[in-house]
Amino acid sequence: HRTHKVTVIGSGNWGTTVAKLVAESTREHPDVFEEDVQMWVYEENVTIAKDSPHYAAVGDQPQKLTSIINTCHENAKYLPGIKLPSNVVANPSIQDAVKDSSILIFNFPHEFIANILKQIKGHILPYARGISCIKGVTVTDHNVELICEYIGETLGIYCGALSGANIASEIANEEWCETTIAYNTPPGDLRASNGAAPNDNGGEHKDSHGQISKIKLTPLPQNYPPLGHEEFYKLFSRPYFTVSMVSDVVGVSLGGALKNIVAIACGFVEGHGWNMTAKTAVMRRGMLEIIAFAREFFPETIEEKTLWEESAGWGDMIVSCTAARNWRYSKMAVERGVTVQEIERTELNGQKLQGISTSREVSSFLRARGAEQNYPLFLAVDGILDGKVKVEDIPKLFRK
């Protein structure tokens, strides 16, 4: 192997956008990456709209989404109107898509994680490395886990996280923005890429609780092409996508996951008829709850400056509460007097609102731990989703 093969697992709105941008980079750096980028697609039949420029080629019968992507170079369902580079190869077989790839990019709604990992376990290179672009957390048995760490532990690989103030459709249109990638290069990977003999590096790596990682890492083979900050920077950065590389996976992951709950709260208050000042109060209090959560459950490792300084912190909070789907569609729900779940089913054409399940998971975790008192906003969103709390009650929750 002289170059890294890249697979994007997932092909929704963000998955397809990330496949586009990394495929541009693999073309630009043939010395580092294999040109073709595999993109796993959850296969479905799609009917092309009559006014689509692809209608003549595809016809009016439903076609497999993978075949539309590979013939028209467009994801007509999840990213319509955006031309994909021809080196994005849509693949309906997840096992085939991940085969021989040393870089796995996880990019799908977090509720599908367990099922997807089950399908790829045992089919990946043992020394593959991952980046998770997923915004969410995994809650198991009174335990909250970062998605990237859950991926790493399930597959026995190291996986970092990419998150930021990133609206897929804007980035797909090559409008400029920033992102944050958290990646703790395993110490053995650095050694291997310097030509040193590979050794067992599993024991040296710390997890998000500051403990020696349980993952028994398979080291990169000796003299394998290096894989660390420099290579991930090359893969993800574009003239319109500014990448900041950090090592705080906790701050990056929690900022991206928990702001979705706050975005839903902002949609609720705006749908109720309150404007920017109320929304600002919700955002500020939401960020305090994110910080409290990080301090309470990841005290050994959280670097709070990530939340203040990086795109994955305040940046993502602002864009999510003013322009993203979780905000937009929860506002619509209140305006129409229906549930957010109903809006997700009827208005999103298959796209998902991560804030609904994240709110559910985080609230049940907090209740199970008896840790509700510091998170009135998180719990209020869960209560409103259940119809047990009213939007107009939100200010009361903060009264001293």
- Work out whether the CA dihedral 121, 123, 129, 132 comes out positive or negative: negative
180 touching ligand NAD, by CB under 6 A: no
Closest CB to ligand 13P among 202 and 255? 255
Number of residues that bind ligand 13P (CB under 6 A): 12
Letters for 76-115 (x = contact with ligand 13P by CB under 6 A, - = none) are ----------------------------------------
Out of 288, 350, 390, 397, the only residue in the binding site for ligand NAD (CB under 6 A) is 350
Q: Least Å distance between CB 266 and ligand NAD?
A: 16
Report, in Å, the least distance between residue 324 CB and ligand NAD: 6
Tokens of 225: 């092409």
* Whether 230 contacts 7, CB under 8 Å: no
Judged by CB under 6 A, the chain residues 304 through 333 that form the site for ligand 13P are 316, 319-320, 324-326
The question of whether 214 is a catalytic residue gets the answer no
42 binds, among ligand NAD, ligand 13P, none (CB under 5 to 8 A by kind): ligand NAD
Given a contact cutoff of 8 angstroms between Cβ atoms, the answer to whether 316 and 259 are in contact is yes
Cα(212)–Cα(206) distance, rounded to whole angstroms?
A: 5
Contact between 351 and ligand NAD by CB under 6 A: the answer reads: yes
User: CA 391 from chain center: how many Å?
Assistant: 28
- Whether the CA torsion 106, 108, 110, 112 is positive or negative: it is negative
Q: How many residues bind ligand NAD (CB under 6 A)?
A: 24
CB atoms within 10 A of CB 332: 15
Which residue, 131 or 192, is less far from ligand NAD as judged by CB?
A: 131
Nearest to ligand 13P of 227, 263 (CB atom):
263
Minimum distance from CB of 27 to ligand NAD (Å)?
Answer: 22
Query: What residues have CB less than 8 Å from 20, skipping those under 6 apart?
Result: 79, 82, 84, 85, 88, 172
Which among 50-58, 93-101, 128-136, 218-226 is the span making contact with ligand NAD, rule CB under 6 A?
A: 128-136
Which tokens hold the place of 161?
A: 């996280």
Contacts to ligand NAD from residues 38-57, by CB under 6 A: 42
Nearest-angstrom CA–CA distance, 40 and 42:
7
* C-alpha 340: how far from chain center: 21
For ligand 13P, the binding residues in 148-167 under the rule CB under 6 A are: 165-167
Residues in the chain: 400
Q: Is 355 in the site for ligand NAD (CB under 6 A)?
A: no
Which C-beta is closer to ligand 13P: that of 89 or that of 318? 318
Name which of 35 and 170 has its Cβ closer to ligand 13P: 170
CA distance 162 to 157: 16
Copy the structure tokens of residue 247.
Answer: 């090592």
Handedness of CA 199, 200, 204, 205 (dihedral sign): positive
Q: Binding to ligand 13P by residue 135, rule CB under 6 A?
A: yes
User: Which listed residue (20, 135, 234, 259) is catalytic?
Assistant: 259
**Sheet with 129-132, edge to edge strand ranges:** 88-91, 33-40, 4-9, 103-106, 129-132, 158-163, 177-182, 241-246
Footprint on this chain of ligand 13P (rule: CB under 6 A): 135, 165-167, 263, 316, 319-320, 324-326, 354
Residues labelled catalytic: 259
